[in-house]
Amino acid sequence: MGRARAKWDCRPRLETGRELENNDPVETLKEKLQSGRFVVTAEIAPPVSCAAADLLAKAAPLKGLADAVNVTDGAGARAHMGSVAAAAILLQNGIEPILQLTCRDRNRIALQSELMGAAALGIRNLLLLKGDDPKQGDQPDAKPVFDYDTAALTAVAVALRDKGELPTGRKVGGKAEFFIAAADVPIDPPAGWEPKSLAAKLAAGCEFVQTQFCMDANVVRRYMARLAEHGIKVPFLIGISPLRSAKSARWMREKLYGTIIPDTAVERLEAASDPAAEGRKLCLELMRELAAISGVAGVHIMAPSNEAAIADVIRDAAGLKRAK
């Protein structure tokens, strides 16, 4: 008794869903996107740790800066703190999470259970993914499951949200207020290309989009124009990164599927006396360009092995406004 409450409270609070400060409701990610403001989400990999404090040490710099924070689910096919637990801890500490859930590690019963548990914890935002092949990780003998693909898992989340039922038709108590993201990979669209895969995800019930790295504003401009031609008009958060060095940029292009980083960016990093500072500058310049592109609702900042740089970039970008 009489102990002061710690700044980061890791104890469960069942009244989660929307944190209150000064008795005023906090605007959710969905509301921010609907308001037309330029939104910035970030991404962290939960630590290899059993301590909530280790997760919060990574997330603390983003509180009050990022509009929401993705927590990855076994990224790189390596074990980390579970994404549902990590998302709940962030939510309890005033950071709105985007829960990433992959099809790789769980069968349909477990995935359905995870979704119900996430809803019970007040987690709204979802990004449902296939998951990296275990052969790419540090335990290559691990058995992948893939009982569901992302389309099937999305259908389960939508049915929980809209019908309150499982695929068996069994009714589910409570309410799942899910706001579901689609993952996308921007390309420089060739003649005749149509966004069939993305259109199918949106038709399945996804409501906003987070993309793979696309560090070329001209590609984004052409891509968004083609999507508009096909009637796709949902909030897009373009994946970008505060690149740490030319070496890391080349690694990302080689190892991370769909990554677009132009040669001009790599050359700037190569020539810089402080590549990390140049990478943050380049990221900020790109954010300003993206904010002027019709259809771009914001950015999703990812920084493999360089998460500490994310907060600095968001802070420097304060005041960016989205194109009408």
Same fold, 29-184 and 187-324: yes
Residue ranges of domains in the chain: 29-184, 187-324
Say whether pLDDT at 177 is over 80. yes
CATH number for the domain formed by residue range(s) 29-184: 3.20.20.220
Say whether pLDDT at 14 is over 80. no
Q: Please, is 9 exposed, middle or buried when counting C-beta atoms within 10 Å of its C-beta (0-12, 13-18, 19+)? A: middle
Q: Angle at the Cα of 104 (from 102 to 109), degrees rounded to 5? A: 80
pLDDT at 22: 46
Question: In this predicted model, what pLDDT tens digit does every residue of 157-174 receive, in sequence order?
Answer: 999 999 999 999 999 999
The pTM of this model reads 0.91
Say whether pLDDT at 5 is over 50. no
Say whether pLDDT at 6 is over 90. no
Comparing 22 with 187, the larger pLDDT belongs to 187
CATH top-level class for 187-324? alpha beta
pLDDT at 24: 55
Comparing 8 with 178, the larger pLDDT belongs to 178
* Amino acid identity for residue 149 in this structure: D
Question: In this predicted model, what pLDDT tens digit does every residue of 116-129 receive, in sequence order?
Answer: 999 999 999 999 99
Count of H-run helices and E-run strands, the chain: 11, 10
